[in-house]
Structure 1
C-alpha cells in the first residue's frame, strides 16, 4: 500500500513563540501531495507542518531536518504506530520526551542537536529500535541505565560529543550491539568491565579521545570483534594482556598515540589480525618476537616512530605480511637476518631513516620483495640488494644515486622511469 508524500513549499511562514514541533502555524502556504512507497518528506526553510499532518498511522518514515526545533512535546508521535524511521537531525533540541511511544521504530537519528545528558530510561517503548545515532550533540553524561529497554539495538553512535566517562553497566541492556562508535569524545580511561556484555560486537570505534589507560581485560569478552580503533588517543603504554581473547580481530588501529614500547606478548592472541597500524607513536625499539601471534598479518605500519634498533627476530611469526612500512624512523643499521620471517614481503619502506650500513645478509630471506624504498638514506653501495631475487623497483631519491639514470645491482640494470624510481627493464 502506497503512502502519502507531503511536501510543504513555504511562501510565508508564521511561527509560534516557541519553535516546537507540536505547535506550529502556517499561513499562505502551497501544499502538494504525491504518492510515495514508504516515506513522508517534509521540506521547508525553518519549521514544518501543522499538527494534523502527523495523524498518519500508516507512515513508516519521517524526516525533520534543519528546522531549528527546540523541543518535542509528549504525545507528538502518538498516532505514528507504524513508524520505523525517524530523523530529527540538525535542530536545536536539548532533551527528548521520555516516551516517544513508537513501538515499531527501527531507526532513530538525532544528530547535531543540543542534547547534554542521557537520563536513565531515556528510550522507553522503543523495544524494536535497532539503530540509534546521537552524534554531534553536547552529551557530557550518560546515566547507567540510559539505554535500558533497547534490547534489540544493533548500532549505537555517540561520536563528536563530550562524554568523559562510561558507567560500568551502561551497555548491559544492549548486549546485541554490533557497532559501537564513541569517537571524538573526552574519555580518559576504559574500565575493565564496561564492554563485558557486548559479546556480539563487531566494530568498536574509540578514536580521538583522551584515553591514557585501558585496564587489563577491558576487551576480554569481545569475542566477535573485528575492528578496534584506538587511534588518536593519549596511550603511552599497553598492558601485556590488553588484547587477549580477541581471536576474531582483523584490524587494530593504534596510530597517533604516544606509545614508547610494545611489550612482548601483547599481540599473542591476535591470530586473525590482518592490519596493524602503529603510525606516529614514540616506539624506540622492536624487540625480538614482539609480533609473535600475528599469524595472518598482511599490513604493518610503524612509520613516524623513534625506532633506532631492529633486532634479528623482530619480525618472526609474520609469514603472510606483504607490506611493511618503517619509514621516517631513526634506523641507521640493518643487521644480518633482521627481516627473517618475512618470506612473503612484497613492499618494504625504509625511506626517511638514517640508514648508512647494510650488513651482508640484511635482506636474506626476502625472496618475494618487489619494491624497496631507500629514499633519503646514506648508504654507500647497493651490493646487499643482490640478495633480493624478485626486486623490480627501488626508490633512491635523495641518496648518492639521485642523479644517476641507471644503477647496477649484480648483473641487473635498473633505469630511472618518469616517476623517478629505478626499475628493472
Structure 2
C-alpha cells in the first residue's frame, strides 16, 4: 500500500513539472504530442522534445518528409503521420527511430518509398501505408521487419508484388492488400506466413486462385476475396486452411465451382457466394460445417439446385437463393437436413412451382417444433437484395401452385424471427390448397399481389394482427355458396381488425362485394 502511494506521488510530481510543448501542438501527456497544420518539410522546426514516445501529426501541407525530421528521437514508439499531403519520404527519415513499434503513413500522396527506408526500425510491429498512391514496392522494403505483425497496403495502385516481398515476415498476423489493381499473386508470395490470421484481398482484379498459393497459411481465420474478377478456383484451394472461419467469394466472375471445394472447411461460420454467374452447383460442395449459420446465393445464373445440396449445413439458420431469374425449379428434398433453418428466401427467381415436401425435414433432426419457427419468405419487401439478415421474399416469380405439403401445420404454426410467414406473394398463384393456411400465431401472412386468391382455402386465420394479407390481390370468381361461406368464416376477424375505417382502407383492400373480382388500381399493385 505504501509503495503504491509513493508511486502515485512521484507520478503527480512529474506531471506537475513544466513540459516544453511546442506552440502548434497539444501535449496531454508528458511523453505524447499532437500537432496539426504546418509544412511537412519543416517538422524539425516544431521543436518537438526528443524524449517523446508518441507523436501524432496530421493535416500537414504538401511536401517531402526530410531526413532530419525526427533526429535524436531514440525512444519514440508510436509515430502517426496521416491525413496529410506527404508526397515522398527521404531515405533516412526514420533512421533514429530504433524503438519504433507503430508507424502510420495513411492517407497521404506517397507514390514511392525507398527500399532501405525501414532498415533501422527492426522492432516495428505495425505498419500502415494504406490510402496512398503507391504503384510498386521495392522487394527489399520489409526484409528487416522480422517482428512485424500488421501490414496495411490497401487502397493504393499496386498492380504487381515481388514473390520475395514478404519472405522475412514470419510473424505477420494481418495482411491487407485490398483496393489495389492486382491481377495475380506470384507463387511463393505467402510461403512464410505460417502465423497469418487475416488476409484481405478484396476489391482487386484477381482472375484466379492458383494451386498452392494458400497452402502455408495454417493459422488463417479470415480470407476476403470478394469484388475481384476471379473466374476459376483450383480444386482443393482451401483444403489446408483448417482454421478458416470467414470466406468471401461474392461479386466475382465464377461460373462454376470445383466439386468438394468446401469439403474440408469445417470451421466456416461465414461464406458468401452471391453475385456470381454460377450456372450450376456440384452435387457435393459442402462438408460438415457446424458453425455456418448464413448462406446467400443471390444474383446467380442457377437453373436448379442439386438434391440435398445443403445437407451438411445442419446448423444453417438463414438461406437465400434469390434474384436468379433462370432458377425455374427446385428438386424434392432441396433443403433436406436443414433442421435449424429459420429464414428461407426464394424471391425474384423464375420458379413456376414448388415441390411437395419443400419444408419437410428429416425426422432424425428432432421433433416437429424443430422447424416450427421457420419464416418462409417468398416475397420481397422493398429493395433489400443485399446480403444480411433482412433479406426477404420471392416477388417477381411466376409460381402458380403451392402443394398442400409445402408447409404442414407443424412447420408454420408459430411466429418466425420477425413474426412473418409468407406464402408465394408477388407471383402468379392460382391456388392454395386446404391446410396450407392452418397457421395459428403469425403476425404477417403475405398473400398479396397474386392474380387469384381462392378464399375457400382459408380455414382458420384467428390471430393474425396485420391488415394487408390480401393487398393487391385479384379475387377468384368463386361459386356463390363457397364465396359466402368464406366471407362468413373471416368476417368477424376482418371486422375486428378494420372496424369501420372504410375511408382509411378503401384503397388498400380489394372489395369483398359484388362479383368478387374487384381489382386494385395498378399503382397500388406496383
Q: Same fold (TM over 0.5)?
A: yes
1:316 aligns with 2:339: no
* Aligned counterparts of 1:76 and 1:132: Cα–Cα separation in 2: 20
Show structure 2 runs of 5+ residues with no match.
1-28, 363-369, 380-394, 472-492, 498-526
1:355 aligns with 2:399: yes
1:411 aligns with 2:460: yes
1:140 aligns with 2:140: no
1:80 aligns with 2:97: yes
* Aligned counterparts of 1:68 and 1:288: Cα–Cα separation in 2: 58
Q: Equivalent residue of 1:243, what SS?
A: coil
1:69 aligns with 2:86: yes
Higher relative contact order (CA 8 A, sep 6+): 1
Among candidates 279, 294, 300, match of residue 313 of structure 2: 294
Question: CA deviation digits over 1:23-56, x for unaligned, max 9?
Answer: x2479x8x58799995211134414776254431
* Aligned counterparts of 1:196 and 1:315: Cα–Cα separation in 2: 33
Give, in angstroms, the shift of residue 226 of structure 1. Answer: 0.5
Show structure 1 runs of 5+ residues with no match.
14-20
Question: CA deviation digits over 1:88-132, x for unaligned, max 9?
Answer: 122232232323021221111111222223343330221111111
Q: Which residue of 2 aligns with 1:303?
A: 322
Question: CA deviation digits over 1:342-381, x for unaligned, max 9?
Answer: 8525211112121211122121362566332332122234
More strand by share: 1
1:57 aligns with 2:74: yes
Query: In the alignment, is the contact (CA less than 8 A) between 1:5 and 1:34 conserved in 2?
Result: no
Q: Which has the larger radius of gyration?
A: 2
* Aligned counterparts of 2:69 and 2:140: Cα–Cα separation in 1: 29
* Aligned counterparts of 2:164 and 2:43: Cα–Cα separation in 1: 40
User: Where do 1:16-415 residues align within 5 Å?
Assistant: 24-25=41-42, 31=46, 39-47=54-62, 51-99=68-116, 100=118, 101-305=120-324, 306-341=326-361, 343-344=370-371, 346-351=374-379, 352=395, 353-364=397-408, 366-367=411-412, 370=415, 371-373=420-422, 374-382=424-432, 383-388=434-439, 391-400=442-451, 409-413=458-462
Question: CA deviation digits over 1:198-244, x for unaligned, max 9?
Answer: 11111100011000100101111110000100000000111112112
Query: In the alignment, is the contact (CA less than 8 A) between 1:335 and 1:362 conserved in 2?
Result: yes
- Comparing 382-391 with 315-324, greater Cα deviation is found at 382-391
Q: Which residue of 1 aligns with 2:503?
A: none
Question: CA deviation digits over 1:72-94, x for unaligned, max 9?
Answer: 23221111122111111222322
Query: In the alignment, is the contact (CA less than 8 A) between 1:307 and 1:331 conserved in 2?
Result: yes
Query: In the alignment, is the contact (CA less than 8 A) between 1:38 and 1:60 conserved in 2?
Result: yes
Pair 1:54–1:326, CA change in 2 (3 A): farther
**Equivalent residues, number:** 410
Pair 1:36–1:292, CA change in 2 (3 A): farther
Pair 1:338–1:80, CA change in 2 (3 A): same
Query: In the alignment, is the contact (CA less than 8 A) between 1:2 and 1:38 conserved in 2?
Result: no
Question: CA deviation digits over 1:288-343, x for unaligned, max 9?
Answer: 11112111111111111122111211111111111111111111212321222285
* Aligned counterparts of 1:386 and 1:94: Cα–Cα separation in 2: 65
* Aligned counterparts of 2:427 and 2:54: Cα–Cα separation in 1: 61
Q: Equivalent residue of 1:62, what SS?
A: strand
Query: In the alignment, is the contact (CA less than 8 A) between 1:119 and 1:145 conserved in 2?
Result: no
Normalised by the length of structure 2, the TM-score is 0.71
* Aligned counterparts of 1:68 and 1:52: Cα–Cα separation in 2: 16
Give, in angstroms, the shift of residue 67 of structure 1. Answer: 3.1
Query: In the alignment, is the contact (CA less than 8 A) between 1:7 and 1:41 conserved in 2?
Result: yes
Query: In the alignment, is the contact (CA less than 8 A) between 1:83 and 1:105 conserved in 2?
Result: yes
* Aligned counterparts of 2:306 and 2:34: Cα–Cα separation in 1: 65
